[in-house]
Amino acid sequence: MHELKTSYGALAAEAAASAKSLIALRRRLHQYPEVGNQEYRTTALLKRELQRLGLKIVDGHAATGLWAELDTGREGPVIAIRTDIDALPVVEETGLPFASKIKGAMHACGHDVHMAVLIGVARLLTRHKSDLIGKVKFICQPAEEIPPGGARPLITAGVLERPKVDVILSLHVDSGLPVGSIGLRDGVNMASVYDFDLRIIGRSGHAAMPHRAVDAIAVSAEVISGLQQIVSRMTDPVEPLVISFGAVKGGLARNVVAGEVIITGTARSLNAAGSKKLPSQIKHTAAQIAKAFGARVEIVSIADYPPLKADPRVNRFIADSFRAVFPRGKIHQIPVVMGGEDFACYLEKIPGSMFRLGVGNKKIGADKPWHHPAYMIDENAITVGVATMAAAATNLLHNWNGGPR
């Protein structure tokens, strides 16, 4: 067995020593955010950073995103570390000197931090390549924020194959946790996501003669109300489920009966089996309601992610590694949230976990929720993330054999 020579304490010290350059990298990424599938500048920057480390780059699968491979030359597990790279269509209101220079785009969910951490981990692990076994894949994934997401295209492109990945890790910043801490939860952390559009097709006519038309607006109101019966009357009340509608678009003038309405919706569930039934339930219920009023429905599925489910074995590796690098650090039991994450698509295939990185610090305003235009983080968290992730990857490379059961 290859002997592990680098101490976890040394990893923490090296991560701390890299703070200045990683904060500068994060700020550069923050200034030039790019929304999903348009991350050209971001991809080029990440590619340069990873190429400098001598890593093998794989980027022929799509216009944006890539992955890089570190091969120690010794037999062992294959560990993947994933970051998302896209920003949100949000106008920044932080007032920071390094605020977004791209109009209408902002890293309001901390993906700039995620990327800086991944580069920091790649630097550390490459520096200690002779001390490691196995292989590490660094995945830079586009389009996490926009459906249908960037995870499945990467999986189709072979990111989990050649060589086959054994375990995958990721993190997500959390301003609800104080800087210097992390959060974990075994099992389901986030909900499944089913995003869909409903097209209600009626028949237009004069507003004064509604009996000669089929009012798509009136039908859409009945459909919206009726679909809530899936939650209240077709689902076990102890199983969390929410169906929400974010936009209703239709109609031409106040005196014209609308012939068509588009409804955009999302459904979230914590039950994997129940989430698989949702598309057919929504389509059937909407179609029957529309039919009763002489209209019809077309449904377009936009995204379909499973619940994000963390493997307890991998969580133990993360927890043990965090305690090794930060003996006084706190590990929080995070609550389940009904938000979704397409990292769940990887976890359908292989064991893994996404831990929360505490970035909260109310004194500097780092207490806003994800996607807020004034979202901020305590940058001291970056090296905490690097040390924790590097230690967890090292631990897994040397000790993963399917993990303790």
pLDDT at 93: 98
Q: Quick check: helix, strand or coil at residue 217?
A: helix
Bridge partners (DSSP) of residue 187 are 310
Q: Are 383 and 160 in contact (CB under 8 A)?
A: no
Identify whether 405 is part of a domain.
Answer: no
pLDDT at 401: 86
Rounded to 10 degrees, what is the CA torsion of 341, 345, 349, 353? Answer: -10
pLDDT at 59: 82
b/e for 331-366, b at 16 or more Cβ within 10 A? Answer: bbebeeebebbbbbbbbeebbbbbbbbbbbbeeebb
Q: Are 237 and 372 in the same domain?
A: no
Identify whether 1 is part of a domain.
Answer: no
Tell me if the pTM is above 0.85. yes
What span, in angstroms and rounded, lies between the C-alpha atoms of 14 and 394? 14
Q: Are 38 and 71 in the same domain?
A: yes
Q: Are 178 and 212 in the same domain?
A: no
What span, in angstroms and rounded, lies between the C-alpha atoms of 132 and 78? 11
Question: Which CATH number goes with the domain that contains 196?
Answer: 3.30.70.360
Averaged pLDDT, groups of 10, the chain, 405 residues long: 66 96 98 98 98 92 93 97 98 98 98 98 97 97 96 96 97 98 98 97 98 98 97 92 97 98 97 88 97 97 96 98 96 96 98 98 98 98 98 96 59
What span, in angstroms and rounded, lies between the C-alpha atoms of 285 and 229? 9
If one counts the domains in the chain, the total is 2
Identify whether 232 is part of a domain.
Answer: yes
